[in-house]
Structures are given as structure tokens and as C-alpha cells.
Structure 1
């Protein structure tokens, strides 16, 4: 970061795959640095969406749910793909349930809004969330912190950076995070419920200087989460009139909304559990060849997940069953990218590269307690293997046509392949018996491809003011449902988007104020919408193309330093995202209805101030977010849930003695202690947001 005396910080970003100032990057984006994350207590990806314009990032029961400008996705199964790419140090993380891991030693998070199909590739119709960790440096330093709060919250983390020699630097980081359940059990069982925390995360990094022109950065990370997947309550905790097809929100206390009092008529819940283990090895290599630099970025990652979860499974309006699901899955992915980027400030600059990705999955999902709807005791989905591969060629060129005018053109050709071998089994016992059980094949293979492109123009209106205009496209690969050919509903088409955007980025008032303004319009075709529906007498998770949608809006993001010790930040987002043509059942039309998690207006305001005391510095901060109402739709049930508008406020107060390595911080999140639905699925299972959290933290740095 760079800053002038009393001015706002200029952030160095890599949104265009090369380093540059955020204020000179022609992309609608937000940057949250690691220090701000720690101060606000935002310790995993699902925490940051409330801080960003046009963005909702939620921790759903089946993984991370990212919505950017109304573009989202609900299929977190092994055959689904996201609409927004989630990346860790530039590495695409494919499975949503492997994305919401604890932050560890983060340098910054770059959130790019709008399709990024040229430089980032497939599954970026909505945008990109890239979490960038700190790399080893040439300075010996370290830090440690401990934190305690309500709900039994306790956390500890530490970082150590060691320069071994002029050519080698090492960095190690570790954290542990614990919390009791936020939900209350009203089912009459002794079991604990979910929304608890039990996570341990570590990372080792090594940076090597290979002569004067090349460097290699290696990262090894490991995260294990042992918590409870029973993170839901019935939608009746929030809504009345569901049986009429028109859910209406009603007032209820926070404790009541966080209580699961559903007593299944057909079974007794078991103690839920979950274990997520994620391991990754990544490498970044760069070699300065003079006129150009060669970059390599690659990684191997493995994610293992097993759990037992108790469902609230609505069969018909007003009647629900209890269903237990056991799951065991393993997911491995490999990715490699080789890229060449020009150096210098000549009239033409550019980059080009090749990309390869492959993922292989094996899983076993078992549902019990569905006998009342005519199914046998075990309803089982074995899948092994499920494979997904992608390869791409891409390039982008920028021409400095005139002083202050730059024109950009880029394109990417992506080829995707998917295949799955498995079945839907109707079993009498836990182990399949071919003499008594039925196996319905789930076998499919699909190849899709798309050329995405980007055209852009940038113009310097003044030394610190830039305007830009872009036209870009996005692409999310197609897929297949349960079943086998020749089922006509087996395959669904790729999702595509064309985006038009105008923007201005400016710094003014002697660099004490900054403003980013963007206006956009999307043409959105073949939306992939998912939910559970009855197919041939059995429930299946089905994805279908939803026709077309229109998305348009305006976003404002600004910062102001009225005094040297004070900083005011604000965002404002107006969004109009609705279906143009969509019928969930072929009879009812949802044309004109809002897309999910796209409130018409969201406003955030934050202020922080440092008070110089005789024996130290006290820092105070407040952040508030106000949102108009939004919608969560369940197309397979023809239900639309209205999420009322709300305001949520966070506050913090810290103190650092003069000349001391110690500091202390008191933090309150969700001061109003209100909760709302985060996700609602086809069965009525609702993940609520988190109640008020209070924490006291102590840090030591050297």
C-alpha cells in the first residue's frame, strides 16, 4: 500500500493478473485488507459479504453461497458449478463446502464484480472472490493473539516470519477457533445442534530467490473442521402461511428463531457431526526474461468430508418428516496455468496463457426415514468416479492509443468435460443387496465449450481520475441431473452472460477522498436454477435452465479522511435484478420476479478514529449496513420467501500502549441481535444468520 501524509491508502492489486493500483484498475472491485479483517472479526469468507456493495456471501448448509449483483447458484452437489469463482491465492477451489474455511494470515481479499471470463475463466459469470495470503518477507517478525467471547467463543493464532538467507524466507501461520452452538435444541433430545466452530488451520510458506531474475513461492496448507452439520431450523420459525403458497414473515424473538423445536413424527434425531479436512500444495514461479515475464501457478488440493445431519423434510404443506443423512466424500483437484506477460511501459502490453484443471470425486450419500413416502429404509446415492476437467487458451492486449487513452481486447477459449458413474439405490439395508434392492443408473458424460471475450476503453480525465467502459461475457458450464440417457431432462445447458459497464475511479481533496462509481447492465441467459422435485416417484435434486433475466444497477464505494486520525467509508448499491422469462413448472410465470438475494438498495457506513492519549492510542470504530427487502425463491415448490429489510451494526474499541508490542480490542457484532434467513431449501430447512457476538482480543507483535 502507498499513502500520502494524511491521505488515503493506495492499494496494490492483481485483479488484471498484473500488479497495479486499485484506483487505476478498470474493474468494479472491492478490496479488504488483512488488518481490517482482523479488527472487524471477519474470520471466514461468509463474513465479508455484508461489507461489499452488490455482494452477498452466505454460509449455507451445503457450503459457501456467493451472490454478486443477483447472479447466484444453488447446486452444491458434485455435479454442480458455482456462478462466482472462489480462489485461494489465485487457485480455483471447486467445491462450495470446501470454501468457507477460516482465514489465516491474509494479506487482502479482492472481490471482482461482473464476469471475468477472459483472465479467470469458467464459472465467473457473477465475478471472483480471491483470498490472497501473506508471502514470506526479508524481515524477521511475528505475532500472536488470543480472543474470548460469548457463545463459548475462544480463538488463538500466531505467525512467524524468518529470513533464512538473502535467497530464502520462511513463514508459518496457525490458528484454532472454537465456539459453542448458536442454535437451541427444542426437540426433547440431549443432542447439541450446529452453527458451532471447531477449526484448526495451518500454513507453511517458503520463498526462494533463484538468481536475480526468478523466484519460487511454495505454500502448504492444512485445515480441519470438526463441527455439527445440523445448522438449520424450520422455515416456520420465520414465516406463516407457507401452506397457502404465500409465506409471510412474522415477528419473533431471536431465541425463538434460533430454536429447532421440530419433533419428527417418524424417527428420533441422532447426534449430528461433521468433519472437513482440506490440504493443499501450491507453487508460484516467475522468471523475468527482459521484455516479458513467465509465470506459472499450480496446485494440488484434496478435500475430505463426512457428516451425519438431521433434516426437516417437508413432504406437503403443513407436514414434515425427520430424515437422517450420512455422507462420506473425497475430492481431489489439480490445476496448472502457464502465462507470459509483457514488461515495461510501451504502447502495447499484453499477456497470454494456457490453463488446465481436473477434479475427481467419490462420494456416498445415504438418506434414511423416508418410508412414509413409499421409499425403502435406505435411499442411497453412490457416485464413483465423478470427473470434471477444463482447459483453456487466453490472451489480452492493451494499446495506449493516445496520451491517457487505453484500449483493451481479450478472449478466452474454454473446453469443459464432465462425467459421472453412479446410481440411485433403493435399499432394504445399509449395504446394497442385488437380490432385494434396486439400482437406478446415474451415468452421464458431457462436453461444453465457450469463447468469452472482453473489450474495454480507459481514459484519464485527470491525473487522479479515470473513466472506463467495458463489454464482457461470462460462461458457466452445463451439466446433467440424476439419471441416464435417453432421459430428455438429463442435460441442462451452459449459463451465459453479456455485461455492459461504465465506471469512474477518482481520488480528490489532496488524496483525502476517493470514490468509485460503476453502472452496469446484464443480459443473462439460461440461468441454472436448482431444487428438489419428485421424479418417477422419488425425490431428486434437479437443475434446469430458467430462460432469461435482466440485471442492472449502480454501485458507489467511497472513502474520506476528514482528519488525519479519522476514516469514513461508505457504499451504496442499487440493483434491479429480475426474471424476463421463467416458468418453474411450465404453468406459472415468474417473469418480473426478483432474483435471489438482490435487494433493491443497500447502504453501508463506517467510521473509525484514533485518539492519541498520553500513554497510548485508543481506536474506535463503527460499521452499519442497511438493506431493503430481498427474496429467496424455491422454484420446485413455487414458493417465494420475502426477507424484510434490516439494519445491522458492528462496533469496536481498541487500545495500544505507547511503545508497547501489546494491544487489546473489544468488539461487538450485530449489536441489534436480529437474525434473518440466510438460505431456505426445497424442504423448508432454513439457515439463520448469527446473533450478537461479543469478543475481547489481545495481540502481541514483534
Structure 2
């Protein structure tokens, strides 16, 4: 009954979507609306009954958004931080397991292809047509690991014209981001496009211990090339092929001692929630790595892939095939946390996916899609920590293979029951298989100095066998209603999401040698989410657009990961929290009171909290030897209750060109980052981030030159924190400034 009352209230209130920014011409209508593919078919953003944001490629360039972590400034209730790859949080829903056996809660896609490894996602961010961010579970049309939502990066497709463009940025910390693209029309039906990107910058860390003689290298030095080919002999048939290759290098350390940011740390299981004292360090003091390093850190990774999309229209029916194959290789040397303990990681991955869809449309009241999806990923990794448990030893995890496989069938239909009034229903069946073979070991050598200086192998001690296999299945569904009113679209929906369960290190008792875990300790269950949502997308007048959404989530089986000593040494353990609840409101407006001047405003409320979650910990003073910590009512990580954005854009005509002044402040309230292994509740106080730019655009937008400053306040924002043997704090970008320019041919 409570859910029904909430759904009815949501329908009445009908509150939030997100701002729409300047778009590429190929994606916009005469009214400035943008064409999106959130429903896997083309539709206008203003007529798409989903809470989503679409940011066009030109706006990404003009706003200086060169990597996914900067999207959170344009998308409500979104957080993207760097950890072991990208960790995406949407409306409080996230995943902290970036290992080969873990899955994200938000699906990251490139041209509709799911990228399973978060380490491969950032290098896709160049030569972009648009980025679509769908908030909330997308368990019908997208399915796999879209409990939190979907980020779909759509690259620029070849066009039937010859041209080129170059865009480059130079900024603080010797940051260079440059993209060159050439488009060639070979004929009326065949076109090619090649784009290349360089993305590099120095580390934000300051070497506070030069005596170790190691130093801090360039944070990233990535190079990527993408080749696209489009064959379109008629309006009814098209074949798009895209291949890409990237080299990812650099020294990606970003951790500093916890003492840079916090004092009075109380750890361990307890019923109270003492927070460490936040020290509010200066931007310089917070970035100092004062601890000695054990080795020079670096990564030397490659990522490559090929995808194809075929569309064939037969009257009112369109057949679409979307297929891909990707490979990744990783070689990374690191120091754990902000300590001199050295480690190395070697990994190889491949994934393939195939999707077949049949869409029925036309001018009638019925729109239908049905399809099937297949995904498989296979990997082998070796992660070792040097001299952790004994001198001249390597404690580690050789695992091969780890396999994930998904098979799905789905369908969705929309029917217009009256003029402007539509009903939508969809369902998806997903079947997942996960397995892994490997071990947790301690290898002894004649000598171990660091990852580059290892002597002769002597003996291997196997602590435990890592051997697990399990299947999961789930039916997810969506039901919605929308009405195209004179003011704009009003919509409401109920949708569900699902992410498969998995396993921890080890194997089940009785299933083989060195197997000592119960099934309940080895495996964890799927997480599921039911979302109730309603919203509107209104065009009050040509000068005033207003969007809004209100939502409620019932979130069960949250998969929470923490590092523990359950394996004889440090390893990651994932468990299911019982339940969580999420409520929120998202509002935004774009106002243009006079020509050449516009204001954008957004206000978001988010109450993401644990409903029932009471993990146990050992306590000798208890009669049972254990106590529990009650998390009920506590906020989920990186979930500020309030956030807002205020920006203004003013255009000054200069001859046939123009000067554009733009300023935006994005603010977020306080939030927690919890170290679940040690029950330490790190608080990030509320903060603001102001970006400003001045741009000259030449006549016909042939070239532009801009100066910019980002994070004018120079706030260091905590993105991750933990204590223990390898405790450290990671933080977001400090203040940066620079210039950017571009030219079209």
C-alpha cells in the first residue's frame, strides 16, 4: 500500500529530468531539441519518457569535458571517480568491485557496446557525437549490469562529406588533450572516418619524500586511434564498422596518507559512529605524498576492439544486429595505498557480445521491439604483493580463467491508447554464468626487492584454491505511461533492475583441496532494484524550459566489497547488504530572458540510505563472541542530500564571429565514504566547484580559441578513503587553467 501511495503521489507531483546543452547539428532539430537513442530507436529527448541527460559533442568540447569523471558536473546525482578503473555512482547505486570477477552497477557503453572492464572506459572519450546518461534501472532494453543506469558514449559516425577537424587543450600540470579527425566520402554510399587522441598530464601528487630516489611520473600518457566505415547504399540499409586501439601508459598513483585529510580516526566494530576529524588541508598540503615509495609506479596497457552495427528496414520493420569483440592487456606496477609495499598486476581479457533486435514502427499506434543478447568475457590475471607476509616472498592471486556469460531475451511495446497518451510495457529474461579457477598463494624466492627485481623461484605455498561456479537468472520488467500535453511530456513508470551475484576467493568445503568455505561465505547473491518514477519535460515558452523527476527505489541485496584478511592476507570480500531505500527529486530549468543570454539552474535532493544492514564483528566481551553494527538509516556512499548547479552564458557578437562568456558553479552537500572493513566513516564536507571560460568563435564556427579555469575554489574533494595497512585517501582534480583551440576544414 505504501508503494501504491508513493506511485500515486509521484504521478501527481511529476518532477525532473536534466538540462540539454548545445548539440551537434546532425543531432538537433530546428527547435534545438536533440535526437537520442535511449529506447534503442531514435526519438527526441523532449519526447523520451526517461530521466536522462544528453550532452552533445560540441558542448563537451566547449565545456572542456575531456574524460568521463567530468560528466558529474552536467548530470544530476552522478559521481564518477577513478579507482581500479572508473567507479560510477548514480543516485547512490554503485559497485566497488573493479576486479576481474566483479561487475559495475552502471553499464558503460561505447556505441551501444557494453564495456565490461572499468579500466577500458576512459580512453573511449574523444570524437564524440553525444553522451547519453540514463538514470535508474534499464533492465528491459539494456539489461546487463544496468541497476544504477547507463552511460552510452556515441562516437561521430562517418558522414558523406570530406572534412577534418582538430581540437586541442593545454592546461595546468602539463595537461595535453588533442584530437584530430578526418572524414572522407569515398562515394555516395561509402564513407570513412579516422580519429586519433592524445591524453596526458602530470600527477597531482607532490613528492614529499625525495630521499627515496623514486619520484612521481606523468599520471597518464594515453594514445588512441579509431577507424570507422559506413556503408549506406540506400535509406533502408546501413552497415557501420568501428575499430579502435589504445595505449594506456603513465604513473596512475593518486593516494596520499590518510593523515593529510583526517585525524582522530576510530576504527573497528562499534555501535557509535564517530567520524574522523576533517582537517580541511590546503590544495598543496593535501596533495603531498610524504611516505617513502617502494618502487616507481607505472602502467603499460593496451585495449583494442571491433564492432559492427547493421540496420535493414523492410517497410515498418527494422532489423538491427550489433556485435563486437574486444581484447585488453594490463601490466601495472604499484605501491599499495600510500605505503612502500610494492605490487604488480598482469592481466589479459577478451569479451564478445551479439545483439539482434527487431523493431516494428510506422505511423500506427503500436511500437514494438523484441530481441536477444549474448555476452561472454574471459580473463586471466596474476596479482602479487611483495614481501608482505615474509621476506623474499610474493603473496598473490594467480587466476585463470575467470568467465562471465550472459544470455538474454527481451521485448518492449508502446501503444497509443488516445491522442498523445501512451502505455509501455517491457520484459527481459537474463541468465548469467560465472566461474573462476585459481589460487591464493605465497611464493618464496631467493630474493625479492620489488616487482622489477625478483630472484630465483624456490617454492609455492597454496593457502586456498579459488574454484567457484554458479548460475543466476532473473526476469526484469518495465511498465510506464506518458502523455504529450500542450506544455510537454508527462510520464510515470515502474521498472526493475538486476545484477548477477558472484563469489569470493576460495572454494566450498568438500569440493577440493584447500577448500574451507561454506557456500554462504563463498557466494553472494544478485542485487535487485525496483524504481518508481514520474516526471515532466515542459517547454513553458521559447524562453523557458523546465524538467523534473521524483523517484523512489526499493533496493535489495546490495553487493558491498571490502578488503579483509580472510585469505591469509589481504583480499577483497563481497557480501550482500539486506536492503536500502532511495528517494529523490531532480529539477532543472533553462531560461533565456533576452537574446544572447541564458541561465541554467538545477536543484537535486537525494535520500539514499540503508534500510536494514547489520554486519557482525568479533567481540570477546559479548556472550556470543560477536556483535553487529546497525547501518539502518545511514547514507549510502557518495550520496549528498542536496546538490545544485547555477550557470550563465552570454554571447557578444564581434563582426561575423562572437565571444562567448560562460560561468557555472556546481555545489554538493556533505557525504560519507565508508571503509566497510574497518567501520570508519569518512566525511567529505559540502563544497562548490566553479568553472569559467571565455571563447572566441570565428565566423561560421571555422575555428575557436578559449581560455578557461576549472575548480576556481581549488577544493580537494575526497573520492575514496580507507585505513588499515594500506590506508590512503584519493581526491579529485585541484584547480586547473589553460587554453583550448580548434579548427574545422
TM-superposed CA distance for 1:536, in Å, is 5.5
Q: 1:36 aligns to what SS in structure 2?
A: helix
Q: For 2:343 and 2:590, how far apart are their aligned partners in 1? A: 48
Q: Specify the SS of the correspondent of 1:48.
A: helix
Distance 1:681 1:80 in 2: 20
8 Å CA contact 1:362, 1:384 repeated in 2? yes
Mapped partners of 2:429, 2:105: distance in 1: 18
Aligned equivalent of 1:231? 254
Alpha carbons of structure 1 residues 443 and 699: separation in structure 2 relative to 1, 3 Å: same
Residue number in structure 1 paired with 2:493: 470
Quick one: distance in 1 between partners of 2:384 and 2:94? 27
- Residue equivalent to 1:541: 572
> 2:479 matched to 1:455?
yes
Whether the 8 Å CA contact 2:110–2:124 is kept in 1: the answer is: no
TM-fit CA distance, 1:435? 4.9
Structure 1 counterpart of 2:285, from 235, 241, 256? 256
Alignment partner of 1:273 is 2:298: yes
Number of residue-to-residue matches in the alignment:
686
Q: Deviations over 1:399-451 (max 9, x none)?
A: 11111211111000000001101000111126996855335210000100100
Further displaced range: 491-500 or 665-674: 665-674
Cα displacement (A) at 1:80: 0.6
Maintained 8 Å contact 2:200/2:218: no
- Tell me which of 531, 535, 540 is aligned to 1:503: 535
1:612 lines up with 2:653 in the alignment: yes
Residue 538 of structure 1 aligns to a residue in which SS?
Answer: coil
CA contact 2:73–2:666 (8 Å) conserved in 1:
yes
Contact 1:584–1:635 (8 Å) recurs in 2: no
Matches within 5 A, 1:470-489: 470-486=493-509, 487-488=517-518, 489=521
Residue 246, structure 1, aligned to residue 269, structure 2: no
Decide whether the 8 Å contact of 1:337 with 1:353 is kept in 2: yes
Over 3 Å counting, the alpha-carbon distance change for 1:531 and 1:403 in structure 2 is same
Which whole-Å CA distance do the structure 1 matches of 2:645 and 2:700 have between them?
Answer: 34
- Secondary structure of the equivalent of 2:180? strand
Pick from 48, 55, 61: which aligns with 1:32? 55
Residues 5, 351 of structure 1: alpha-carbon distance in 2 compared, 3 angstrom cutoff: closer
> In the superposition, relative to structure 1, how do residues 436 and 515 fare at CA in structure 2: closer, same or farther (>3 Å)?
closer
Q: CA deviation at 1:246?
A: 3.1
Deviates more, 1:435-444 or 1:167-176: 435-444
Confirm whether residue 412 of structure 1 aligns to residue 428 of structure 2. Answer: yes
* Cα separation, partners in 2 of 1:212 and 1:66, compared to 1, 3 Å: closer
**Contact residue 27 and residue 34 of structure 2 kept, 8 A:** no
Instruction: Give the superposition deviation at 1:100.
Output: 2.0
Is 1:690 aligned to residue 739 of structure 2?
Answer: no
Residues 143 and 6 from structure 1, CA distance in 2 versus in 1: closer, same or farther, beyond 3 angstroms?
closer
Contact 2:643/2:669, CA 8 A, preserved across alignment: yes
Counterpart of 2:198 in structure 1 is: 176
Q: Provide the residue aligned with 2:744 in structure 1.
A: 701
Q: Who is 1:298 aligned against?
A: 323
CA contact (8 A) 2:109 2:152 kept: yes
Query: Of 86, 101, 108, which aligns to 2:123?
Result: 101
Matches within 5 A, 1:8-19: 9-19=32-42
Q: Is the 8 A contact 1:616 1:657 kept in 2?
A: yes
Given the superposition, is the C-alpha separation of residues 20 and 684 from structure 1 closer, same or farther in structure 2, using an over 3 Å criterion? Answer: same
SS of equivalent residue, structure 1 residue 257: helix
Partner of 2:388: 370
Q: Aligned equivalents of 2:227 and 2:102: distance in 1? A: 31
1:535 CA drift (Å): 1.3
Which structure 2 residues correspond to residues 62-461 of structure 1 after superposition, within 5 A? 62-101=84-123, 103-187=125-209, 188-193=211-216, 196-243=219-266, 246-263=275-292, 269-312=294-337, 322-371=340-389, 377-429=393-445, 435=459, 437-461=461-485
User: Do the aligned partners of 2:409 and 2:430 also contact (CA within 8 Å) in 1?
Assistant: yes
Secondary structure class of the residue paired with 1:101: helix
Q: Name the counterpart of 2:13.
A: none
Contact 2:219 2:253 in 1 (8 A): no
CA separation of 1:138 and 1:275: change in aligned 2, threshold 3 A: same
Per-residue CA deviations over 1:381-412 (Å, capped at 9, x if unaligned) read: 10111110001000001111111211111000
> Aligned-pair distance for 1:31?
0.9
Contact 1:662 1:701 in 2 (8 A): yes
Measure how far apart 1:494 and its partner are: 0.1
Aligned match of 2:630:
589
Partner of 1:316: none
Rounded Cα–Cα distance in structure 1 between residues aligned with 2:167 and 2:354:
36
- Partner SS state of residue 158, structure 1: strand
Deviations 1:604-635 (A, max 9, x none): 11211210023631111111101110111111
Which of 649-658 and 631-640 deviates more?
649-658
- Partner of 2:481, secondary structure, is strand
**1:359-397 superposed Cα distances (whole Å, 9 cap, x missing partner):** 0001110101313xx687210110111110001000001
**Cα distance in 2 for residues equivalent to 1:331 and 1:378:** 23
Q: 1:441 to 1:695 in 2, by over 3 A?
A: same
Q: Which of 552, 555, 569 is matched with 1:524 structurally?
A: 555
| Alpha carbons 2:721, 2:730 under 8 Å: kept | yes
CA distance in 2, matches of 1:116, 1:171: 31
Contact 1:3-1:9 within 8 A present in 2 as well: no
TM-score, normalising length from structure 1? 0.94
Contact 1:57 1:65 (8 Å CA) reproduced: yes
Q: In 2, Cα distance between the equivalents of 1:5 and 1:86?
A: 24
Q: Please state how far the C-alpha of 1:595 moved relative to its aligned partner.
A: 0.2
- Between 1:225-234 and 1:588-597, the stretch displaced more is 225-234
SS at structure 1 position matched to 2:564: strand
Question: Which residue number in structure 2 is paired with residue 318 of structure 1?
Answer: none
Give, in whole Å, the separation in 2 of the partners of 1:556 and 1:355: 35
The alpha carbon displacement at 1:88 in A equals 0.5
Give the 3 Å change call, closer, same or farther, for CA 6–143 of structure 1 in structure 2. Answer: closer
User: Does the 8 A contact of 1:229 with 1:307 survive in 2?
Assistant: no
Flag the 1:635–1:212 CA change in 2: closer, same or farther, 3 A: closer
Q: Greater CA deviation, 132-141 or 413-422?
A: 132-141
What is the rounded CA distance, in whole Å, between the counterparts of 1:699 and 1:350 in structure 2?
Answer: 43
Structure 2: runs of 5 or more not aligned: 1-22, 268-273, 446-453, 510-516, 618-627
| Contact map agreement 2:386 2:393 (CA 8 A) in 1 | yes
Per the TM alignment, residue 492 of structure 1 is displaced from its structure 2 partner at its CA by: 0.1
2:3 corresponds in structure 1 to none
Q: CA deviation at 1:672?
A: 1.0
Check if 1:661 corresponds to 2:689. Answer: no
- Aligned-residue Cα RMSD (Å) equals 2.1
Change (3 A) 1:494 1:375: farther
User: In 1, distance between residues paired with 2:715 and 2:124?
Assistant: 24
- List gaps (5 residues or longer) in structure 1: 314-320
Residue pair 2:401, 2:437 contacting (<8 A) in 1 also:
yes
Alignment check: 8 A CA contact 1:568 1:606 kept: yes
Distance 1:48 1:250, change over 3 A: same
